[in-house]
Structure 1
Amino acid sequence: MSDDFMPRAATQATGRPAPSWAKKPPPRSKAATRTTGKNTARKYFGPRDPQDHARKIAENVLEAWYQNFGGNSIDVPLGTVAALCLVRNVPGLADWILNLQPEELPRLFTEIYLGHWINRPDLINRALRLHDWAWNPDPDKQQLRAVHAVTRAAISTGLLDLTGHDDPWQRSEADVLSPLLTGLRHKSDKKWRGEYHTPACITDLMANVTVDKEFAKPGMSFHEPAVGSGTMFRSVAQRLRDLGLNPHDFHWYGVDIDALSAGCAAINAIVWDLGPRCLIGCADSLAPEDDYAKTRAEAKEAFEERDRYMDTANTIVAWRRAFALLDEVETAAA
């Protein structure tokens, strides 16, 4: 893979306020603590093994979704957990999220995805099926109640303790989305799709056996033609970090024929910090077409679209500042 296309940082729209999820949650009063104590996050004392922890999160999310009659749209609970995987844990954040009302959650999730879209529009576009529902201006009330239950279940089972670390090594210890996606799939659906994700213990073993300092050289490429949710990439990235290498110095290309799996891999690429040379495609890797060229073209188009939107936003901000300054001058003159 060549470096002629590399993801570029966006020029931030001057004066754009930070999204609400990125701000430090406001302190809760003692009265609020007494009245909403049931909505206070408690430290999670479940399985210590990261893989067991991820499976426990999936179990509780599945139970919450179906007990609250969420419906058959598995992209909704999957996208809810994926969004929560993208936030960094700060003191008070879990409590703040737990105290949001169901109708407030779609805005939270869209702001999370939008915040990451500014940096990696290609990956967020690839995960469109995971967040498309959150942009619905007239959401289904019952579905929102199920989303609320899923959010509470994920947070209460310690999701942010697993994926909210600043250190990418710590938040790459497990793939949370893999057991959730396979759990949401019906047995017959998984069978005809041939969707069986490789367990983390196997991918860790493969990475430890095949990747060493003699083999891994910065600039080389890792290609996964059936990437699933990206578990193999996670194991390789962790192995590189254990060897003192930076995943950012390597090329990653994963492709999957299933849009939801590819979307999960795209989100995980951000969570695991695979770096700017990571591309995730949705295509049939056995087809004669060049799926990498297609994915690369889609990524390039996503960045160009991002740049156009950011240029427009900067222009709007500049005009507003000019008009505000003109109003000040006219007021002073009067």
Structure 2
Amino acid sequence: MSDDDMALPRAAAPAADRPIPSWAKKAPPKSNTDLRTPAKTTWHKGLAPHDPHDHARTIVENVIDAWYQSYGGSSIDIPIGTVAALALLRQPTEIGNGLADWILNRQPHELPQLFKEIYLGYWIKRPDLINRALRLHDWAWNPNPDTQQLHAVQAVTHRAINQGLLDLTGHDDPYMRAESDVLSPLLTGLRHKSDRKWRGEYHTPACVADLMVNMLVDKEFARPNLAIRDPAVGSGTMFRSVAQRLRDFDLNPHDYHWYGNDVDALAAACAAVNTIIWDLGPRAHIGCADSIALEDGGHAKTLAEAKDAFEERDKYVGTATAIVASRRAFRLLDELMETAAA
């Protein structure tokens, strides 16, 4: 299953119209010179074109507000995992807002199953990255979820979608999906300032990362098979900038080796999800280790863990295939016996 196939069916029941966010409402033009033909977009209800980084920050501010206003608690992996799961979905243009409407019609108790299916769908293709992102989706498997927390998850889901998350991350084109990073400001925004300080967690702003990459990476330097490493990858902000720079040169990120590592498991989980969203390719790996303590920055450990993840996936898929084949054989046998008896 490819990542572009991750779309859910349209709901039969129509959803109520979603209001245009206040930040997206356009002020009336001051003169005829301000009347310009808007760029073609898929933004809901004709939202005005804007800076994708500003859009991401607006989504994050609303998500954080929804989580704490709903008394979601201190488990910040839950709202981050909710937004990450939604960001993994594609919203095909032919169904319009059908996907968003379908999700908004789900009840709180239905959302964990939805998120499990999203993550499991990607686990089939990239078990190593979904395993790395375990901190973001492990909560969805809780057999006795907290009711208040589920309502907070629903509030986060509604706020993220109504603020246009799928307009940033739902594109079929990975270039469009990689125009911003929603998970970086969400992670740092949910963490307490003192927590970030003792962790030494300071994510590079997207605009700074873009500037650095534009200065350092040119087409002559960016040769295919080049290894791109970040020993303190955070949510992958530098990788996003490099991937976009390569695409600007009509180069494919799949032709490069990517290795990101972070000592913080939650940051590494965000980087793993972003690796899928931004489509860095099959040679992209995300590790969680102390880059300073390990001689190779944890590269060998990460590759070994990835190998184990693929072997585990193959084992489970093989077992499931055998079960399906057995059930088909038994059904065929039953049909033959019924025919013989007749």
TM-score by length of 1: 0.90
- Cα distance in 2, alignment partners of residues 26 and 292 from structure 1: 44
Could you say what secondary structure the match of 1:37 adopts?
coil
Q: Which has the higher contact order (CA 8 A, sep 6+)?
A: 1
* Cα distance in 1 between the residues matched to 2:59 and 2:46: 11
% of aligned pairs identical? Answer: 69
- The question of 1:26 aligning with 2:11 is answered yes
Q: 1:254 aligns to what SS in structure 2? A: strand
Q: Which residue in the other structure is 2:169 paired with?
A: 163
Residue number among 103, 127, 150 corresponding to 1:97 in the alignment = 103
CA distance in 2, matches of 1:199, 1:23: 33
Name which of structure 1's ranges 108-117 and 200-209 shifts more when overlaid on structure 2. Answer: 200-209
Q: Counterparts of 1:188 and 1:64 in 2: how far apart (Å)?
A: 22
Of 196, 204, 211, 2:202 maps to: 196
**Superposition pairs of residues 138-177 of structure 1, within 5 angstroms:** 138-177=144-183
Match of 2:54 in 1: 52
Q: Deviations over 1:213-240 (max 9, x none)?
A: 1101000100000000000000000000
CA–CA separation in structure 2 for the residues paired with 1:40 and 1:199: 30
Q: Which moved more, 1:177-186 or 1:38-47?
A: 38-47
Contact 2:18 2:162 in 1 (8 A): no
Deviations 1:44-69 (A, max 9, x none): 73771000000000000000000000
Is contact 1:40–1:95 with CA below 8 Å preserved after alignment?
A: no
Partner of 2:300: 293
Find the partner of 2:309 among 302, 315, 319.
302
Alignment of 1:79 with 2:86, yes or no, is no
Partners of 2:134 and 2:48 in 1: how far apart?
A: 32
Letter in 2 for 1:76: I
- CA-atom RMSD, angstroms? 1.8
Partner of 1:4: none
Distance 1:40 1:120, change over 3 A: farther
Specify the alignment match of 2:216 in structure 1: 210
Secondary structure of 2:45's counterpart equals: coil
Gaps of 5+ in 2: 21-43
Pick from 314, 323, 326 the counterpart of residue 319 of structure 1.
326
Among 333, 338, 342, the alignment partner of 1:331 is: 338
The alpha-carbon distance between structure 1 residues 146 and 299, as it changes in their structure 2 partners (threshold 3 A), is same
TM-score by length of 2: 0.88
Q: CA 1:109/1:147 → structure 2, altered by over 3 Å: closer, same or farther?
A: same
Provide the rounded CA distance (Å) in 1 between the counterparts of 2:16 and 2:173. 30
Q: Tell me the distance in 2 between the aligned counterparts of 1:288 and 1:218.
A: 27
Q: Distance in 2 between matches of 1:141 and 1:288?
A: 42
| Distance change >3 Å, CA 110–CA 127, structure 1 → 2 | same
CA distance in structure 2 between the aligned counterparts of 1:78 and 1:153, rounded to whole angstroms? 13
Give the whole-Å Cα distance in 1 for the aligned partners of 2:108 and 2:185.
25
Structure 1 contact 75–260 (Cα < 8 Å) conserved:
yes
| 2:285 corresponds to | 279
Equivalent residue, structure 1, for 2:120: 114
Q: Distance in 2 between matches of 1:145 and 1:295?
A: 36
- Is contact 1:44-1:158 (8 Å) kept? no
| Count of aligned pairs | 311
Paired residue for 1:269? 275
Corresponding position: 1:37 with 2:13: no
2-side partners of 1:44 and 1:108: how far apart?
A: 28
SS at match of 1:205: helix
Letter of the 2:166 counterpart: L
**1:214-229 equivalence runs, <5 A:** 214-229=220-235
1:14 aligns with: none
2:261 paired residue among 255, 266, 272: 255
Runs (5+) with no aligned partner, structure 1: 1-8, 11-18
1:183 pairs with one of 158, 177, 189: 189
CA distance 1:303–1:329, change in 2 (3 Å): same
Distance 1:67 1:288 in 2: 42
Alpha-carbon distance change, 141 to 280 in structure 1, aligned in 2, over 3 angstroms: same
* 1:136 aligns to 2:119 (yes or no): no
